[in-house]
Chain A
């Protein structure tokens, strides 16, 4: 009994609780003063501020009709047409953005004006509901600045969302007289419906010189890659209709077409598809004989059958999004909202936010020429993938389509990422739906490298005051050929480590690090003295491991450098009676943890343990003086998604004079504490990251009928 529990008793000497009570007074005083300070600051902060903001509110209480009117003389200047060769490095003034630690661009919005021509006729509607929402969203975002001199990007309040709702020449004149226009440099225009009859240009026809264009419906010819931003055409139905997300599972139709003004040629091709494949293809059109008062936009018909739109979209697996007069279609937004996988048939169309979104995960793009093969193409997609595409489609809508705010912020973020590329948002953040972000892991050591053997490992021995046993461990470990350095972490502040002359003489450098506080986490600190990738964490009482066993452990670690490779294995189990996790140290056929009393792992995990441990786990471990090894197992499994590797057979690791089989001798309270740790950590991590496996690693020839002296690691498993 003594041997096994000794480990945890000696680590937390009796001195600690006494110091704690002394500290407690300090802590209480400190806490109360901090609290007082906080209250005081809060009062100063919010009192005058709230008065001020209420006056703001009074000013803002204005009507759109009250905005100042600006008369544009007929001869006021018109900007050049858009420059197709513009790129960020030629037409954008990055000096305005500057370097700032937050890596955020500053966006200024011009105040709203009403523009009229010489005769007093309005140039356009002052502002549409959507553009107002968009500007309000920018103004509420962290990109916003009201200081025109600090701005890096300017957003005119001239509404050009719909080209058909404005007069082109006069709008251009209105843009040209903006105070910081300067040929449109660093100005951002939002447009969703470009072009007009008869040939419908794919970009806004308003001359805009160097201004950036966030446009819906770009083609590859008008889109200036890396300069413009392709945005969706907002569908007002997004705000009006609430379509709850539909789970995976079969849907009534396989392919659905819901667009109203399709070119007859497309319609013929769709009908041919329907004739071939029957009921599973549904082609809808506008309804001709609706009773009065029913909005035509919310109904679709097929022969005499009437369907609710957009609800009907949820009945189909795939929904066709064909180009109309324009490339960008509002129906794309409805389709995504319904979780229907869009089949995009619009050659040369630049998909919304294609600079960052991976549309292959949410849609099927089919060349117009291949429309007749659509059915077979879609049938070749595995069901599991379809379900993921449905989820992905819905996620794209939620994150980037559902509101003008979402569209505005995504656009600004894309521009921000271009200006501060080293702080750009990653592919995963843009594309992974929350469910994937939650269940996936991205291993920080993803490159498969087998570290060179010559590097060796650094043994880190945590010790308090068991000098005799420590010296034995040092002597034993020093016999391992690949040991390159030995680091003793002296965790006793009240006693000096022994004189230099008393330490065992070993062939590798031996360093002693003294710690400031007796904490268990000191064992996992990424000391600069550790110059190898591999760390062997070893307790000062583990004297039974043979040199062969340790060397073999190191070789196994080299093959699995991103895992914990250790000797004593442990298991976590679900206790059905108590409905919680339980710690198990019996002889089991499975392992999910290794004790760090003797384990190899990568130094990177020391860095993670010290600086990136989630929640309060690190402090909790230090306070309880227990479970640092379980915490490490959780951390590594959570970040890599991989199991531990237990090496070599089960044996006694500690004092040989112990007769009880180790593991069985642990007292009951210890087990309860360890179980508590598992439950605590699982709740902090929000999941149970540990992986259970049934294997352990042995040398290739272990226990084989073969001369021992020809084996690389003969001395394995001896007691």
Chain B
């Protein structure tokens, strides 16, 4: 054993030595020869008189920058407007900014032409705009106009092709040469050339088009959108397919393609070459000649064999089991395959030279896709093999984020288009590239709220910020009497005693005016009273008075102790993007009735934290009021106990995470009952008994099955309407509660920081 080891060791040493000497020698010779070859002029020479060289420009010339231009700036801008044709439109020449000043960014959709039904897809686009918060029914308010004529399919051979568009739009009084118009288009041109021709003059209108080529694309003016099928859902849509972060992130196949091979015509070059990289093992690249009516006429020698191979693999199977997916150009530059790969977390390898990638003005595709060159197809296998596993993992996650943030529904595609245009109107109040490409994505970040990353709950870690060390207690008072009730006085005392409390804001939502300032308790922190307008959704209005990142939302009759508040705030600082609070509800699917329900009774899960006692980030007030459409807030105002569910649904939709429950002393049973009374009194319209247990539950909730649970059923169930509006159920359940580290541990009370939380 010992001697053998020695021998092995000696051999190893010998080879080591050899390597060093040979390697060194080789290196030396290499350096020597290449030095010779260059004739002694290897590098750029160090000129002896280099310090005497003249500067490229005289400092004076540089600072004065030529003569003052002859044309005044105003004249120049006016000249731009006339000089440039529609082919070179830019925002500053072809867009009338003044239309957007008075009413902000408002979008008007033309009424549909009688006798000209629009396609299903264009109908979805129009509905998306009408559902957006920018829609206006009044053209005089509008900043952007969308045609009611279906312009999606401009292929003359297609059944959806609309004729006489030119004549029709000239007849529109609002057309104005296309100024401030946005035209959507998915298909343009036709066989065999598939040029970008739309068949009518768009004038100065912006074009949101799929398969945009970078040469006809007017940068900063047009928008490239992805090609989507007519089955693409209106809202919500399916989530990404990535279920897990596999390590290593490799899937069954490395690289796949399965699709048509064009024997002739545009796009055939790339598709004809794809079979070369097929190796039958980890790279599967299958093509078929079968398409069109007369494929057999053009058929070549490969076709029959290829067609047999082609049938052996299933497209979906390949898509979901491959790390990379080739997305080559078809007849046009874009293809459905692109979004399919994105959703499947199959990293797209783009082979579509000159394609202006979808939303490239905002999206950094280098993080989610490999932008290959059609000419270098044969290098693709080795290039993707060289990509590090951690990069693959990041790519996969980014595909899912982008899919979910911008592409999963027609709503998202359309809203992204609108937000990009809106960002151009005021460059100083627009989203940076970072915001567009980081969770939760540009649509959920309102630049009107702030342009500073630290003001949002999402970017603390990425930029090394931390949430503010203080919070604002925000109490909603709805008492009928004009005087202050005992609970609110106690609550103000308890909250203001917290070392983290910066201020107290009371939203006075009663008919009677608030008591004079002398009647309010003396507190160490400033106390502000806001006269409310008695609407339920008002508690989430972004009041100027709230200045800290953290908001502690309270009802006047909430019972909380100082240490409960302190502990909950510290927990919130660890989870600033979530709602952190005390009483919770749990939602569940009721299969009998085919609807969602929720319960407030003891369950092993939670998915809603009541905003009667909860910490959350101030930004969610803005998101609630500015991001959600007015219709949804009106819905909430009309339903009792719905506003905190909407808040929870909103935060869950943004974060995809459950809220967090923290320890609370046992006393809130009667609080729940009290709340209901107050709400009834305040809201007026709310049906009574909403929050209090009404009917015994029949169907057991998921995972609970407790006898004491109750279901809230009502014809106009809040949760179901919200799920319907969002298109899915955003709420996420959690099975845990966060307690102080030594909670109910068998140690001396003196050691514990929050002993009072344990008192029965």
Contacts and interface: CB of A to CB of B under 8 A. Distances in A.
A713 B450 CA distance: 44
A556 B53 contact: no
B138 interface: no
Interface in A71-95: 85, 87-90, 94-95
Interface in B285-300: none
Contacts of B244: 449, 451-452, 455, 533
B374 A693 contact: no
B432 interface: yes
Interface string B648-666: 0000000111100110001
B53 A422 contact: no
A604 B734 CA distance: 23
Contacts, number: 435
Nearest to A39: B20
A325 B737 contact: no
B246 A533 contact: yes
B243 A367 contact: no
Q: What is the size category of the interface that chain A forms with chain B?
A: 35 or more
A388 B452 contact: yes
Nearest to A266: B73
B38 A146 contact: yes
A162 B57 contact: yes
Contact of B67 (A146, A261, A449, A589): A261
B394 to A, nearest CB: 7
Interface stretch (A6-14, A575-583, A618-626, A700-708): A700-708
A439 interface: yes
Contacts of A265: 72-74
B21 A649 contact: no
B376 to A, nearest CB: 6
A259 B63 contact: yes
B55 A128 contact: yes
Contacts of A95: 375
A362 B397 CA distance: 28
A100 B59 CA distance: 43
Contacts of B736: 552, 555-556, 559, 647, 697-700
B243 A325 contact: no
Contacts of B70: 198
Given A63-B48, A440-B464, A41 B20 contact: yes
Interface stretch (B123-131, B673-681, B720-728, B745-753): B745-753
A421 B371 contact: yes
A401 B565 CA distance: 50
A37 B21 contact: yes
Given A455-B244, A559-B658, A367 B427 contact: yes
A385 interface: yes
Interface string A443-468: 11111111110010000000000000
B366 A421 contact: yes
Nearest to B71: A199
B628 interface: no
A90 B353 CA distance: 9
Interface string B132-160: 00000000000000000000000000000
Contact of B57 (A140, A165, A450, A649): A165
A45 B29 CA distance: 9
Interface in B508-529: none
Contact of A366 (B247, B428, B658): B428
B567 A694 contact: yes
Interface in A195-218: 196-200
B35 A52 contact: yes
B401 A447 contact: yes
Interface in B16-71: 16-17, 20-21, 23-25, 27-28, 31-32, 35, 37-38, 40-51, 53-57, 59-71
Interface residues of B, number: 149
Contact of B53 (A128, A286, A700): A128
A424 B366 contact: yes
B393 A589 contact: no
A226 B439 contact: no
Contact of A367 (B92, B462, B743, B747): B92
Interface string A410-424: 000000010001101
Interface string B703-744: 111100000000000000000000000001011111111111
B215 interface: yes
B397 A447 contact: yes
B751 A587 contact: yes
A518 to B, nearest CB: 18
Nearest to A693: B574
B375 A59 contact: no
A162 B462 contact: no
B419 to A, nearest CB: 15
A136 interface: yes
Interface in A135-151: 135-136, 138-140, 144, 146-147
A181 B88 CA distance: 30
A559 B735 contact: yes
Nearest to A144: B43
B28 A49 contact: yes
A297 interface: yes
B335 interface: no
Nearest to A59: B40
A29 interface: yes
B455 interface: yes
B43 A701 contact: no
Interface in B271-308: none
Contact of B740 (A441, A695, A703): A695
Given A698-B739, A712-B735, A233 B62 contact: yes
Contacts of B25: 44
A296 interface: yes
A30 B737 CA distance: 57
Interface string A257-291: 00111111110000000000000000000100000
Contacts of B545: none
B437 interface: yes
B62 A236 contact: yes
Interface in A387-404: 388
Nearest to B21: A40
Interface string B1-17: 00000000100010011
A41 B22 CA distance: 9
A42 B60 CA distance: 52
Given A41-B20, A64-B53, A89 B354 contact: yes
B753 to A, nearest CB: 4
A534 B547 CA distance: 41
Given A64-B47, A128-B54, A427-B437, A700 B741 contact: no
A135 B44 contact: yes
Given A59-B41, A138-B44, A422-B370, A587 B742 contact: yes
A159 interface: yes
Contact of B462 (A225, A442, A604, A698): A442
B248 interface: yes
> Which of B67, B247, B742 neighbours the largest number of chain A CB atoms within 10 Å of its CB?
B247
A639 B187 CA distance: 45
A636 interface: no
B603 interface: yes
Nearest to A324: B65
Interface in A626-675: 640-643, 646-647, 649-650
Given A129-B50, A348-B92, A444-B393, A361 B434 contact: yes
Nearest to B221: A220
A220 B605 contact: no
25 contacts: A26-B9, A40-B21, A41-B23, A44-B28, A45-B24, A59-B40, A65-B49, A95-B375, A139-B43, A139-B44, A144-B43, A193-B62, A221-B90, A226-B214, A377-B428, A381-B451, A384-B452, A444-B390, A447-B245, A556-B735, A588-B741, A694-B740, A694-B753, A697-B737, A705-B666
Given A85-B215, A360-B431, A446-B397, 10 more contacts: A48-B32, A90-B354, A99-B382, A199-B71, A220-B220, A234-B56, A296-B60, A297-B60, A330-B62, A452-B244
